[in-house]
Structure 1
């Protein structure tokens, strides 16, 4: 990692364990929520806040960090809130009741996020691939990686790739859901295959024993790269 490490604030939180403990759906879904920020300014953004949203904010505030925005990898309810499998999941709507901040999405995802969460478009900030979001002195590069959903996006920050449901340590996101596209997923995976080997992948769910791995390792163990 770079010398930004002493300034970079980066936390990986697991649903059903680090927050929403005792929530059967959160425990089953094993979602990861991430916080990325600048320790020197105390600002951070939350990636995919869902389930016990106030608990997530409490954890970050206990670290003396202030939530100044949300980064959404895609619109599915287990990442931004909404109704799924007969369950109502807290998400960005609940977060906005506590923190007045922008929700950063990929531009193609706007309509889907609004329908899923009922958040007004006025709270959303649409981005294109390659946009850079600065949180204090920390730069986060946004990569459009459609396939799982039309506006799925990943985030590159200081040698880390936060990939949502585009890429897991083993496998990739489903492409048989509304808005998904297998051909686009193939293109997105080819794009991620070009990420430097030393980059550490942080997925949207804990579907493997490990919670993260280098891209070099992922490209060796993940069967999806054999099919590109």
Structure 2
């Protein structure tokens, strides 16, 4: 498995391309991600969204239509793709698959799990492919996602952090913004965040 990333748009949102088994999965194609993705992929099979915020889904529709591939998004955030709730002028897209919490999928022979960590958004998920966890805006290097936006929920964030604290796998984390990190490193930071929630 190979992973490429590009920070896109004013919020430097990480768009990822996962190259695996001769295919590609596109994760969180944000603002101005389209041209970069099209230059990189040869056999794309799906677009995956960690959550529904505009800076993670902006290029969904352009890429889905151009590449003729489906969009997968967490069920509780599917409305955000269609309705532009933050009034950012986000191009409307529609998830072909609204993924259930903690659902494991087979996408063109690739095992993909959407681990549900609500709080930042109702459907906020971390996408697991082999030993790589694409954490969206749930966990960053030395930080966590905000929980003061519309549709955010501090109580849900607390529960999600407690759930994350019990994971023990040797996963590498690829967040929605900033540098990569590891699950083991970020588990050490969780108690301090729980103290302020």
How would you bin the TM-score normalised by the shorter chain?
0.7 to 0.9
- Equivalent residue in structure 1 for 2:54, among 77, 82, 89: 77
Relative to structure 1, the CA distance from residue 120 to residue 32 in structure 2 (aligned partners, 3 Å threshold; closer, same or farther) is: closer
Q: After superposition, what is the alpha-carbon deviation per residue over 1:13-69, rounded to whole angstroms, capped at 9, x for unaligned? A: 1325xxxxxxxxx2x422111122423xx32221100122332323422xxx32221
Structure 1: segments with no counterpart, 5+ residues: 1-7, 17-25, 82-90
Partners in 1 of 2:27 and 2:105 — Cα distance? 13
Aligned to 1:22: none
Q: Give the TM-score normalised by the residue count of structure 1.
A: 0.75
Tell me if structure 2 keeps the 8 A contact 1:37–1:136: no
Aligned-partner SS, 1:96: helix
Aligned to 1:57: 37
1:119 maps onto 2:89 in alignment: no
Count of residues paired in the alignment: 191
Relative to structure 1, the CA distance from residue 202 to residue 92 in structure 2 (aligned partners, 3 Å threshold; closer, same or farther) is: same
Deviation at 1:198, TM superposition (A): 1.7
Across the aligned residues of Structure 1 and Structure 2, the Cα RMSD in angstroms comes to 2.2
Q: After superposition, what is the alpha-carbon deviation per residue over 1:209-228, rounded to whole angstroms, capped at 9, x for unaligned? A: xx222211122246425657
- Equivalent residue in structure 1 for 2:7, among 15, 18, 28: 15
Aligned to 2:182: 214
Aligned-partner SS, 1:109: helix
Q: Give the TM-score normalised by the residue count of structure 2.
A: 0.86
Tell me if structure 2 keeps the 8 A contact 1:169–1:218: yes
Q: After superposition, what is the alpha-carbon deviation per residue over 1:146-177, rounded to whole angstroms, capped at 9, x for unaligned? A: 10111111111212211000111122111111
1:139 maps onto 2:111 in alignment: yes
* Higher strand proportion (structure 1 or 2): 2
1:182 maps onto 2:150 in alignment: no
Give the ranges of 4+ consecutive aligned residues of structure 1 lying more than 3 Å apart after TM superposition: 117-121, 225-228
Structure 2: segments with no counterpart, 5+ residues: 85-89
